[in-house]
Structure 1
């Protein structure tokens, strides 16, 4: 191992220093940024999330504990770059259209996709593309909020995606789980909700088993809002809510979820301007590592 690879302050900050390209030929996993935060309802700034996560991935990608192999040496992983950044009154529609188009291209190539947000409006196009590739999806949703208001009145924002993608039919809510929830919103689509108190009072193994028993063998899209973490360990987010898990609990749970058929994932709502010592961005980059290992588990090389 060369000493220079530990110099995170040097070189181009692609995710894990992987090649930046939009050629997805023979790619196993593509990492794509969506620097969009027009859909926030509280503090803006998540448009800077993809850049900050990439920067801290230069630390997280060097230390792959507790995994026993370096996924970068086994699979072809690229940084696809950013899409969906627009200005003007049609910016939300353009973002959804662009993310759908690029995600469709990636899925059609046979690659899996990890998307770095951006606010929690970004799954609309991504989940549609995953549905068209894999059929109806189970959503595993880490969040402090349900994001289950209706966007049918045309007011789509980061609090509507969970309702809308199930109502459209992309997601089977009865086989989906929202975990670490600690706010009250409608649940018109009948998601399985494991609130924070219930989740934290279970062992990691028990919680993982509950999630697996609901999802079964369905193709899974993981959407991870960084505010699912307690703000004591992830203050850099737009709508923090106290009473959540720490990074140890989250990482252990993600590792226990090995065996799920994870086909795509996103990580959203990192707002570095509210961060302290870059701890939120570091947490996000490390959790992105766990998500990549979940994506990698069924890829054969």
Structure 2
């Protein structure tokens, strides 16, 4: 079935378009998942991947991106696999196709940056990553814990409950950052750095907690754009005031150089509720920062690992 959206996208940062994992020399693949059938708030995140890619037009000109001392293409080969094909209106098709898509790229030795779409897409992605790397440390930026048990089978608010039940994540190595909605604090399986604590203590303290919690465990980053305050990301389905600034989140992400990061998704961008592409630009910038973190980490790896 041809993609409903694949013919109108541009590649993330104008990187090469690739469809065959085995034939590609890319180290990281960017994929879009235009899916929003699991959302409980405002629909429209199916348009997120295209909007994020288009927003990278504001980032391409920079060359060596501040504050890094190198251009991305000097250290990291990246490709864009386009948008996932699935039978629109059938969530089972989304799950099967996304798991298969991720497994093929991961089996070829690639890392993934995936653009949503609503947050439900993280569950099939975690399944594929856990098959490749084993149970993962989860670094989760969000206004909501997404650990609610009362949701339906396809629900963007239950994904990290199911991920835990399926053994995809290791809770003692996982954190949820920026939370500012209710959850069961007495029985919650993950460490939570709530939005008040994060905003009061700043990026250095957040990074100290992340590194202490995750250690050297393989880690997956799931970044819901509503982890940002609506002042910085108005275009999302369930905005909650009191969140992180884009600057703070970038500094936290930037500080993860050298960690064993195996993949990242950026989800819940809903461009219909934005003006001036503020949210799409924030998501594109955060995704690009992840790529720079991976590129900078290659240099660290070569220094500390005598086998290289």
Paired position in structure 1 for 2:183: 185
CA shift in 2, pair 1:197/1:235, >3 Å: same
1:45 maps to what in 2? 44
The counterpart of 1:170, out of the listed 148, 168, 186, is 168
1:233 and 2:244 matched: no
1:12 Cα offset (Å): 7.1
Counterpart check, 1:34 vs 2:33? yes
Where in structure 1 are there 5+ consecutive unaligned residues? Answer: 1-10
Pairs within 5 Å for 1:2-17: 13-17=10-14
Question: Aligned residue for 1:103?
Answer: 102
Q: State how far apart, in whole Å, the 2-side matches of 1:111 and 1:230 are.
A: 32
Query: Do the aligned partners of residues 30 and 174 (structure 1) sit closer, same or farther apart at CA in structure 2, a change above 3 Å counting?
Result: same
Pairing 1:21–2:22 present: no
> C-alpha displacement at 1:69, in angstroms?
0.9
Residues 39 and 155 of structure 2 are in contact (CA less than 8 Å); yes or no, is this contact kept in structure 1?
yes
CA distance 1:256–1:75, shift in 2 (3 Å): closer
SS state at 2:30 partner: strand
Q: Is contact 1:148-1:186 (8 Å) kept? A: no
CA contact (8 A) 1:147 1:185 kept: no
Distance apart, 1:201 and its partner CA: 1.0
Where does residue 140 of structure 1 map in the other structure? 139
CA contact (8 A) 1:40 1:157 kept: yes
Contact map agreement 2:31 2:83 (CA 8 A) in 1 = yes
Q: Helix, strand or coil for the counterpart of 2:68?
A: coil
Tell me by how many angstroms 1:298 deviates. Answer: 4.2
Instruction: Give the SS at the match of 1:62.
Output: helix
Q: Counterpart in 2 of 1:77?
A: 78
**1:84, distance to aligned residue in structure 2 (A):** 4.8
Q: Who is 1:8 aligned against?
A: none
Is the Cα–Cα contact under 8 Å of residues 218 and 261 in structure 1 kept in the other structure?
Answer: yes
SS of residue paired to 2:279: helix
Going from structure 1 to structure 2, the CA distance change for 1:189 and 1:243 (only over 3 Å counts) comes to: closer
Q: Deviations over 1:28-52 (max 9, x none)?
A: 0000000000011010010000000
Taking structure 2 as the reference length, the TM-score comes to 0.89
Structure 1 contact 13–58 (Cα < 8 Å) conserved: no
Moved more, 290-299 or 154-163: 290-299
Deviation at residue 57 of structure 1 after TM alignment: 1.0
**Residue in 2 that maps onto 1:265:** 264
1:277 — aligned with what?
276
TM-score w.r.t. the length of structure 1 is 0.91
Contact 2:87 2:93 in 1 (8 A): yes
- RMSD value over aligned CA atoms? 1.8
Which digits, 9 at most, give the CA deviation of each residue in 1:207-230, with x for residues without a partner?
Answer: 101111000000010000000000
183-192 or 61-70: bigger deviation: 183-192
> Aligned to 1:121, what secondary structure does the other structure show?
helix
| Cα pair 2:39 2:118 within 8 Å, conserved | yes
TM-fit CA distance, 1:185: 2.5
The number of residues matched between the two structures is 288
Once residues 61 and 224 of structure 2 are traced to their aligned partners in structure 1, the CA distance between those partners, rounded to angstroms, is 24
Of residues 27-36 and 75-84 in structure 1, the stretch that sits farther from structure 2 once superposed is 75-84
What secondary structure does 1:203 align onto?
helix
CA contact (8 A) 1:124 1:161 kept: yes
CA separation in 2, counterparts of 1:133 and 1:56? 31
Deviations 1:243-275 (A, max 9, x none): 011111111111112222100000000000001
**Secondary structure at the residue paired with 1:16?**
helix
1:202 is paired with a residue of what secondary structure? helix
Moved more, 29-38 or 66-75: 66-75
